[in-house]
Every structure is written in C-alpha cells, then in structure tokens.
Structure 1
Amino acid sequence: MTLPLQGIKVVEMGQLIAGPFAAKMLAEFGAEVIKIEPPATGDPLRKWRLLHGGTSVWWAVQSRNKQSVTLDLRQPEAREVARQLIAEADVLIENFRPGTLENWGLGWDELHALHPKLVMLRVSGYGQTGPYRDRPGFGVIGEAMGGLRHLSGEPGRTPVRVGVSIGDSLSALHGVIGVLLALRHREQHGGQGQQVDVALYESVFNMMESLLPEFSVFQTVRQPAGSSLPGIAPTNAYRCQDGKYALIAGNGDSIYRRLMEKIDRLDLANDPALAHNDGRVLHVARIDAAISAWTAERPLDDVLAALNDARIPAGKIYDAQDIANDPHYQARDMLLEARLDDGTPVTLPGIVPKLLATPGQVRSPAPKLGEHTDRVLEAQGIDATTRELWRSRGII
C-alpha cells in the first residue's frame, strides 16, 4: 500500500512533546522521519513518567516509525551534517526557543536560501514574532495564556490541569495541518517552501469557542463551571446510585424532550418555556435536579442502557482500565499490541484519523538512541574512521 505521505522526508529537531508529536503523525502516514537527538542523553521524553528498562513507555508511542540520529548541534561538524540532511528533506520540524537555530546558522533565512522547497515547522511558546517571542514556553503556559486553564476546575477553586499536556498536543495538530497546507501550496506554486509558525498559546486559543466574542459584545468573562457546560442545557455529570457518574448531554431540543420523557418528567418535557436552549439555560438548576434525582436511584449501567435506548447521548467517565477493556476501542483498532525492546508486551494507542483507502501504519518500533546514526551518516559520505573520531569527541 502506498501511504499518503510516502516519499516525504522529514528531519525532526524537536524534543519532548509538540514537535515530536507532529512528526509522529506524519510518520504514521508514510513520511520518512529522521529524528536528531543529543548524544548520550537523547530526547528528555525518554526519561519522562514511568520507565521500563530505563526508558519511558511513552517513548514507544511518540517515536514509532522514526529513525534516531545523534548529533550535538552545538558543534560545527554536527551542524554541517544537519544542514546536509535538511537539504535533502521536504520538512524540518523544530520546537526550540526562537533564535536558537539562528544562533547555529540554521535559521529560516539560511535554510530557505539553501533549500527553497523546504517546509519548516516551528513550534514555540509564543511564536517567532511579538514581544513575548523570547520567553520560554511549555504547554502549561500556553494553556494558561490561551484561556483554557482559567476555565478548568470548579468555581472558586484553584484552576486545574486538564490531565495531559493538551497545549503541546494541540500545537502539534495545528503544526501537522500547517505542514500539509504548505506542501499543497508547494505542489501548486512551483515548489516554493515556507515557514509554518505555530505558537502554543494560539493553538489553545483557537479552541476557545465563543470566549472572546462574548467578552467583546457583552463584557462577559466566562468562568469555570465544573462538569457543566455553561449556556447549553442540560449537559452535566450526574451521580448514580453506585457512586459513579453519568455524563448526559440532553441539550438538543428533541433530545431534551426524550430525556424528560425517559425520566418521567412530562411537566418539564411539555413546558413551552423549556422547549429551546435559551429557555432551558434560565432553568438549568431545576432541570439538573430532576435528572440527578432520577440517576441517584439507578446504578450507572442501568442509567446508560436506558438513555442509549432512548437515543440520548450519555456515557461513563473512562479511566485507562476502561479503555484497555473496551470492545469499541478494540473494534476500531485503537488498542495496538506491540513489544518493548526486551520483548515485554505493551498496548499502544491506535492511529487517527482513520483513512479507509490508505490508513496509517506502524512500520517500525521507537528507536534506541542513535540506532540509525551510522547508517544515515554513511549515506552522507561520512566514513567509519570519521564517525569514530566524532564519537570520541561527543559530536555524535
């Protein structure tokens, strides 16, 4: 099978999450990705969270389908090798602080002059321009500046983390979109490459729905609302008899009516003031109380079965064990069985999006540090004697 990005060569100079996540997605759909890592230590993600045999199991997800080449980009010989690799690539991905590559002679102006067809994805906290460009920025800072952290948590409580580094991942997704758009433009306009500038805070801000227009028109500052969805009713988490929670989204007009009929509240179903969302929002406390009274008398499984039969969107709150044992995840190939370096079985997330004709693939496991250095450098004409000398000097 020919994958959509087969023939596209990517050099990844990022680390941790945002840049590597973008490269991971491109690799899953056929791109050849050469990941440049620092000698000895490698990408810090190799040591993040839970380790098996000294390496993070997260690494098995983030770096599958990639080749690992070690280069100390602080040294001129390494930068020259990187320059050669970039000259043969279609895409360069980097997520250093703005100005880092320029200090190494690998900035956009230099690389564009060297390779006019190059698409360069740059992911940073605040973007390549603007008064904050030089500030260090991680996903958590982007989430805060983008507006998400203010909305997370319960009213009057400390804003909470959403659970994962969503700012980084959102930036990676925006980066992938930007790369694909730039490749399409290159195809249509004589092979001209361009820079794709992705800021963490902007990627989060792009998800903030009506946050800014509501402030602009009404001077309303949206506040955290816990498990509810302000301005759209009813949508909330409702406690069941067994102490578990059902997430119920009964906010469409016809869905709302079916929900009220299911919980035997025809008074609320037939109330003309509640027929549409704007009216329900004014009475959301009364509606939520009715739903809560109904769920409190039934275990979660019974609640979900009844609501699914009535075609009312509802679900439980999944943890990792729920995901690993769920038949729908399994049927959709979202639980991929693999093995770590020592043969230990590991279940990895599947590939999205689902393309019916050319679905993404896992063609190779995440590489060991520097696993492909010799092969890649030999292809660049760097002989074994030189490579051993460079190893002794810490260049590779």
Structure 2
Amino acid sequence: MTNPESAPALSSLRVIELGQLIAGPFCCQLLADLGADVIKVEQPDVGDPMRSWGVVHDEKSLSWNVIARGKRCVTADLRTPDGRDFVLELVRQADVVVENFRPGTLERFGLGYEVLSEANPKIVLTRVSGYGQDGPYSSRAGYGSIGEAMGGLRYLVGDPDRAPSRFGVSLGDMLAGVHAAIGTLAALRARDTTSVGQVVDVSIYESVLAMTEALVSDYAIGGITHERSGAILPGVAPSNVYETADGELLLIAANQDSVFGRLAAAMGRPELAASDEYATHIARGARQAELDVEVEKWTRSLSTEDVLNALDEHSVPVGRIYVARDMLADEHFKARNSIVDVPDDILGSVPMQAVTPRLSKNPGSVRWGGSEHGAHDTEVREWLASLRDPAEPSV
C-alpha cells in the first residue's frame, strides 16, 4: 500500500475526461501525471481521433501513447440515455469533469453544468473551447492554430520578410491545457473552503494571449506593434544563433550587462563591454546587427566544443539547438531522467517526456501509455456496480 505521505499529489483526485484531440486531453494528461485517476470516456463506435494522428507505429499512434498516458479508457455513447446515465454515475464519484466540445454540445447531451452539479454539487466542470463559453464567437469552431493567430502569437513567429510561420507542435491547444489544469486546481482549492464546485472556462485564444507579455500594453500606450523578427528580439543583444567553425549553430544569450561583460572576456575582447557603443543594454540594442557580426566572427573562429567550453567557463548562457536525437543522448537529460521508458504491450518500450513539474515529497509518474479503446470498460463498470445500491438499475 502506498504511504499517503509519499503518494502522488493528486492520487485522491478523480477526473472524468469527455474531450478529445489535444486541449482538454492535455489538461487531463497533466493531472494524470501527478496521480489523478483520469477516466477517459470515448464513443463506442469510434475513439478519440488522436488514436490515429501523428506517427503511427505497429498500428498505434505515438501521439496517443503520450497524451492518453495514465488514463483509464472506457466507452459510452453520450447521445443515448444509457450513455448519459453512465456518465452521471461516474460524476457522482468524481471531483472534476473536463470537456472540450464546442459550447452547447454538453447541454445537448443533457450533461450541462446544472445537471452535473445536481448529481454532485462538489463537481468542478472544466470547459475548454476556442473562444470561451460566451461572447459573439463562442459558437464558432476553434482549433489551436486559430487560437494562436487570434491570441497574437502566430503573427510574431517567423522571419519579417515572409508570412507568419507556425509552431512545430500544437502550442495553442497545449497552452489551453496548461491553463485548464491550473484553473481546475484553483477551483478545487476554492471547493476546499466552500464545498461547492464551479465552472472553469478556458478559451484557447485567451490562453495564448496570456503568454504575450506586454504586447497589448505596448500598442495601447506606446503605439508599438510587435513584428516578426526571426531569431532575435529587437533591442535585445547579443541574443541570437551563431555559427561555429564546424558549421553548427549555437544559441548564445548574453544581453544582460554583467553577462555581456563575461562574453566579451571569453572572446578576448573585454574592451567591448567598456565601450560606449556596447556598455549598456540600450546601446547594444541600438547596434544589434553589428554586435552580432562581432560575436559570430569569434564563434566561427572556434570549434563548437571550444565555444561551449569558453562560455561555460565564463558563465555565459549557451546551448545547442536540440532535436530528439540530442535529447536522448544528453547526459543531463539522463541524470535527471527527463525522458522515461514506458512499457507498452504493442511497442515494447516507448521513450517519452517525464512528468513536470517535480515534487520533492509527492512526485507523479507515467504509470502507463495510452490504452486500447475500451480497455477499462469492465474494470470501471464493475467498480461502479460495487458502489451501487442493489435496488438501483444497472448501467
């Protein structure tokens, strides 16, 4: 039996996941990673589309294996009375319901918040959608990419001489998932005081907007529109990608005054940090392009390892630009177990990112990868039956 003092932090939490694809399920992945019992409900005829998205190996999606990890998978047709009754029976034993349907869909299933809270007044309903549960756009279909565009990030990504680029991952959806997890935990903390649940309303575009720093204020007060700037941030120098003699690209970030002084010393050019042209953050920002030329002259004169060693010796932030191959080989990743091997009945063992954040006393874990469609139907229904009054009808 697990010691309660060292059990995963959310091991007493039960979550019913009614969503699909990424935003809602990523919220539930985070909760499951920290120990929550997440019961994922899918349609009996066809499961979550994520089961076939991304890279598929031996007929199993690796994306599914990650986002559905640690979840118990059951089936129920929410369009039928039996499916609705099954969900309500789960809700009576749960703390949280997470859904990311278009607003109004849950109500059409007869599972709106009023119905759920009548079944369990303590239930927290976390709702993730493109535009939120109200407002003139609420009924629109909204994918993560649209949220990235509307929330202001997509305009900023890429080089200034071409159309905006996209991120290589579903960032908008995942940001919404992170905010949904935060909102869920905040609502549960409030429930500790009130003993009453509530609705957590998370929109993708607002989750993206929350990450844009002072973008709105800079325009409203200063009349400044942030533009695409490629590998740099305008006025922040030196902070860029620089080529070495090996042809490898390194990211060096030495824009703070004291750090730039250390970079100049590592370059054998201490006079740069003392000169009026480069002594301050503002001065370096005004001469960003010419300073980048000076830094790259130095990096191109040395091997990658020599640059890394010199900057490490002088405590200047520097790093390779990693792909998965680099992560799997890196000694720091290995020392911290940043990537864990998760056993899988079909694939054998699947490396994937470990749980974050790390808790010193009640850490989470990746208990298993994404399960087969309906894998836990019998287990969950037998568990519900054991809790049911013998006079109640079965579901």
TM-score using structure 2 length: 0.93
Query: Take 1:289 and 1:139, find their aligned partners in 2: how far apart are those partners?
Result: 37
Structure 1 counterpart of 2:46, which letter? Answer: T
Tell me whether 130-139 or 372-381 shows the greater mean CA deviation: 372-381
* Pick aligned residue for 1:168 from 149, 173, 195: 173
The within-5 A match list for 1:140-179 is: 140-179=145-184
| Contact 2:10–2:31 (8 Å) recurs in 1 | yes
Equivalent residue, structure 2, for 1:81: 86
Fraction of identical pairs, as percent: 43
* Cross-structure match for 2:287: 283
Report what 2:323 is aligned to. Answer: 319
Moved over 6 A (4+): none
Q: Which residue of 1 aligns with 2:99?
A: 94
User: Tell me, what secondary structure is at the counterpart of 1:175?
Assistant: helix
Q: Which of 6, 30, 36 is 2:35 aligned to?
A: 30
SS at the partner of 2:385?
A: coil
Q: Give CA deviations for 1:342-382 in whole Å, capped at 9, x if unaligned.
A: 25222111110011111111233321110111222233339
**Which sits farther off after the overlay, 160-169 or 261-270?**
261-270
Deviation of 1:269 (Å): 1.3
Unaligned runs of 5+ in 1: 383-389, 391-395
Correspondence list, 1:302-313, <5 A: 302-313=306-317
Q: Aligned equivalents of 2:380 and 2:341: distance in 1?
A: 29
**Could you tell me how far 1:67 is from its partner in structure 2?**
0.5
| Equivalent residue letter for 2:136 | P
What is the letter of the counterpart of residue 39 of structure 1? P
Q: Hey, what's the Cα distance between the residues in 2 that align with 1:328 and 1:292?
A: 27
Residue of structure 2 in register with 1:17 after alignment: 22
Whole-Å separation in 1 of the counterparts to 2:45 and 2:35? 29
CA spacing shift, 1:153–1:263, aligned 2, 3 Å: same
Q: Which amino acid aligns with 2:329?
A: N
Contact 2:34 2:355 in 1 (8 A): no
The corresponding residue for 2:134 is: 129
Equivalent pairs, count: 383
Structure 1 distance, partners of 2:208, 2:116, is 29
The one-letter amino acid of 2:85's match is: E
Distance (whole Å) between structure 1 residues aligned to residue 140 and residue 303 of structure 2: 50
For residue 273 of structure 1, report the CA deviation from its aligned partner.
4.5
Amino acid at match of 2:140: R
Which residue of the other structure, out of 197, 201, 208, is the alignment partner of 2:201? 197
Answer yes or no: is 1:373 the counterpart of 2:391: no
CA–CA separation in structure 1 for the residues paired with 2:346 and 2:119: 42
Q: 1:343 to 1:150 in 2, by over 3 A?
A: closer
Q: Distance in 1 between matches of 2:124 and 2:155?
A: 35
- Report SS of the residue matched to 2:15: strand
Corresponding residue for residue 118 of structure 1: 123
SS in 1 for 2:251: strand
Match of 1:338 among 335, 342, 357: 342
1:59 lines up with 2:72 in the alignment: no
- Contact residue 235 and residue 288 of structure 2 kept, 8 A: no
Q: Deviation per CA, 1:269-312: give whole Å up to 9, x if none.
A: 11134322122111111211100111122222221111111100
1:298 matched residue in structure 2: 302
- The amino acid of 2:112's aligned partner reads G
CA distance in 2, matches of 1:338, 1:214: 45
1:80-118 alpha-carbon deviations (Å, 9 max, x no partner): 111111122100000001110011111122222332111
RMSD after superposition: 1.6
SS at match of 1:290: helix
Partner secondary structure for residue 280 of structure 1: helix
Between 1:261-270 and 1:1-10, the stretch displaced more is 261-270
The Cα shift of 1:151 comes to 0.5
Match of 2:46 in 1: 41
Distance 1:321 1:185 in 2: 43
Deviation at 1:30, TM superposition (A): 1.6
Task: Tell me, in whole angstroms, the C-alpha distance in 2 between the residues paired with 1:352 and 1:103.
Answer: 36
Whether the 8 Å contact between 2:277 and 2:287 is mirrored in structure 1 is: no
Other-structure match for 2:3: none
In structure 2, C-alpha distance between the alignment counterparts of 1:257 and 1:46, rounded to whole Å: 51
Q: Distance in 1 between matches of 2:369 and 2:289?
A: 51
- SS of residue paired to 2:125: strand
* Distance in 1 (alpha carbons) for counterparts of 2:15 and 2:33: 12
How far apart, CA to CA, are the structure 1 residues paired with 2:257 and 2:367?
Answer: 47
Q: Is the 8 A contact 2:74 2:374 kept in 1?
A: yes
* Displacement of 1:244: 1.4
Structure 1 SS opposite 2:149: helix
For 2:315, the aligned partner's letter is R
Question: Cα deviations across residues 204-227 of structure 1 (Å, max 9, x unaligned)?
Answer: 111101211111122111101111
